[in-house]
Structure 1
Amino acid sequence: MTKRARLIYNPVSGHEQNIRNVASILDILEQAGYEASAFRTTAEPFSAQKEANRVGKDGFELIVGAGGDGTINEIVNGIAPLDHRPQMAVIPSGTTNDFARALKIPRDDLVAAAKLVLQGKTRKMDIGKAGDKYFMNIAASGSLTELTYGVPSEWKSILGYTAYLLKGAEMFPKISNNKMRLTYDKGVYEGDLSMFFLGMTNSIGGWEQVMPDAQLSDGLFQLIVVKTSNPIDILRLMAMAINGNHVKDPNIIYTKTRSLKVELLDTSHSKKKIAVNLDGDIGGYLPMSFTNLQQHIEFFVG
């Protein structure tokens, strides 16, 4: 039987590059031996996720996701719960494209990214589960999280590290510690923290040394806990993160773990909701448990 591939593309991503390249991408998939078709996402919530789940259940062998990290996250959430999951290919047309960066997928040429399917090199990637949702790159929470994700991509492209300083000047008065209990493979941390990260790859917000020892298929999260909310300390840690030296600082816990359980300890803030960021979007609220699903989805890679 002929293999089937479904292109799921975000029509507004990348200044509408996806729309202009649909025919070329489908042609490449046909060259690779697939019967190819396309689905254009809509404004309906979880449009990409619902379509990915539908075609996954229908037995499609490949789903090609064209869009930013948010679109790819939706597709992952669509197929991750299935017993039999199709392969995935990523055509990055968002702003940061952290996941594509980690998989060595071309980020400035959509057609070149699609041609990786012709090369046939794949890798089974770990997927994170957070409550009843899934993520492929990063889970984070705490007051400092907004600084990490709140910097516009245009600022990062033009200003680099200075963009974080400008955002920091706005955010620092709002950064505070929260008392939490974090239970992970090698121990328990109870106390104040301004943010924790669970990383699947080495690329976060365009920075490639935040998780310097990240592996893609070892079944382990990279866990970083930032214990301080002092603006001077945070600026210093951010400068150190450019070269990966922040993980040696006493204000940081850096370890690997297969799972993580996060509980809130400050009962005085019991009505305050603390969001969990999954791949750049809110994916629920604490408390929450996280599990690494080792080599859960197979991706075409560069």
Structure 2
Amino acid sequence: MAAKIVYIFANPYSGSGENKRYVAELIGALEKCGVKGEAVWDLHERKAILSDRKLGERCETVVSAGGDGSLGDVVNELAVGENLGDVNVAMLPMGNENLFAREFGFTREAGAMAEAIAKGDCVRVDMGWVMHRTNIGKDEQSKKGDGKYFTLVLSAGFDAEVIHALDLWRRVKSDRGEEKKKRVTRLSYVPIVLKTVWRYGWPRIELLPEEGGVVRGCCAFVFVLKQYAAGLPIAGEVVADDGMVDWVVLEKGGVLQMLRYVWWIWRDVHIGKPGVSYGRSRRLVLRVCEGDSVRREVTAGQKVDERRVAVEIDGDVGGFLPVEVEAERRVLRVLAMGSS
């Protein structure tokens, strides 16, 4: 039987300079462990490989070399080919936050990852499934046709609006009319946040957990894992394999109130404070409160009133409310690092 290959799917927007070196170092380290590694930079080729239903016959581990958004793409393309249960997933961190890597101990140290890949151990963890419609109670087959998995967090409100604005900012046209993306750093967020905070309308959101009741606020977060940008402990302690999502809703909007929330969250004392709701559910719905609207700036100098609240999924643009979120228990195989 032929030895199995390890595919390293690298983000083409990060494919220059040091990132190419890190991929090459991992391939070299794998070779020393007697494992063949192959880098794939083309997005269409990546999708074809991951969605191949026979992938598990020739591959035991895939590596996503990029950020959390790239990892999410890899996972969802694995799901298309029904390969989630057949291969381990690892991350070579090349993004800004690399939250998934932080959670599971992945680093750019090629030797340690190669040894873990050669060993082949894994842990099974939950993922979230999000759909852009509310269909609680409908049959499972009809629900699975219009959604996607997420591995970390989904949020709606101000921080999602920032992600949407950043996505518009980073899209540029080349001289030949081709769309490219600017490289994002942490400093890229500063002017976007400042601009968004002063123009945002703080529309009201409703969170409806499966268990019943309605929770209202201006920002909502739904976690599969505890990690969040800048190390903010919004979620508290999250169990990664219990078949539940943890949610947090911040009730009041406005600049001063957000600063107060951030201060509480930074000190990890926000749970139980006035205006902060927390819970755990297997399934929930997020939607805009009836009668609320939000003024969103579409392009410079053009403003349109729309009843839309932005959604972000694992740090990427995720459309708008309403959405339904469901926890999927232990569906993802994550490569186990020796120190994790």
| TM more than 0.5 | yes
The alpha-carbon deviation at position 54 of structure 1 amounts to 3.4
Matched with 2:181 is none
Residue deviations 1:235-271 (CA, integer Å, cap 9, x gap): 0110111132112212111111111112333356495
2:106 matches 1:105 = yes
Paired AA for residue 50 in structure 2:
A
Mean Cα displacement is larger for which, 90-99 or 267-276?
A: 267-276
- Counterpart CA distance in 2 for 1:149 and 1:285 is 10
Percent same amino acid at aligned positions? 22
Matched with 1:123 is 123
| SS across alignment from 2:243 | coil
Is the Cα contact below 8 Å between 1:80 and 1:296 reproduced in 2? no
Task: Choose from 186, 190, 214 the match for 1:189.
Answer: 214
Is the Cα contact below 8 Å between 1:240 and 1:246 reproduced in 2? yes
Matched with 1:133 is 148
Is the Cα contact below 8 Å between 1:226 and 1:253 reproduced in 2? yes
Aligned pairs for 1:1-302 within 5 A: 1=1, 2-13=3-14, 16-32=17-33, 34-42=35-43, 48-54=46-52, 57=55, 59=57, 60-85=59-84, 86-106=87-107, 109-118=109-118, 120-131=120-131, 132-146=147-161, 153-155=185-187, 169-189=194-214, 191=216, 193-267=217-291, 269=293, 271-302=306-337
Q: 1:117 to 1:141 in 2, by over 3 A?
A: same
- Counterpart CA distance in 2 for 1:190 and 1:202 is 21
- Counterpart CA distance in 2 for 1:228 and 1:147 is 18
| SS across alignment from 2:23 | helix
The alpha-carbon deviation at position 278 of structure 1 amounts to 0.7
- Counterpart CA distance in 2 for 1:205 and 1:28 is 30
Point out where structure 1 has 5 or more consecutive residues left out of the alignment.
157-162
| SS across alignment from 1:213 | coil
Is the Cα contact below 8 Å between 1:178 and 1:194 reproduced in 2? yes
| SS across alignment from 1:99 | helix
Matched with 1:160 is none
Point out where structure 2 has 5 or more consecutive residues left out of the alignment.
132-146, 167-183, 294-304
- Counterpart CA distance in 2 for 1:206 and 1:189 is 29
Q: 1:22 to 1:255 in 2, by over 3 A?
A: same
- Counterpart CA distance in 1 for 2:54 and 2:31 is 19
Q: 1:209 to 1:179 in 2, by over 3 A?
A: closer
| SS across alignment from 1:245 | coil
| SS across alignment from 2:39 | strand
Q: 1:268 to 1:22 in 2, by over 3 A?
A: closer
The alpha-carbon deviation at position 56 of structure 1 amounts to 6.2
Q: 1:243 to 1:118 in 2, by over 3 A?
A: farther
Q: 1:53 to 1:228 in 2, by over 3 A?
A: same
Paired AA for residue 68 in structure 1:
G
- Counterpart CA distance in 1 for 2:18 and 2:54 is 26
Count the aligned residue pairs.
290
CA RMSD of aligned residues (A): 3.0
- Counterpart CA distance in 2 for 1:80 and 1:285 is 23
- Counterpart CA distance in 1 for 2:319 and 2:259 is 28
**TM-score, normalising length: structure 1:** 0.82
Q: 1:198 to 1:57 in 2, by over 3 A?
A: same
- Counterpart CA distance in 2 for 1:83 and 1:176 is 41
Q: 1:48 to 1:224 in 2, by over 3 A?
A: farther
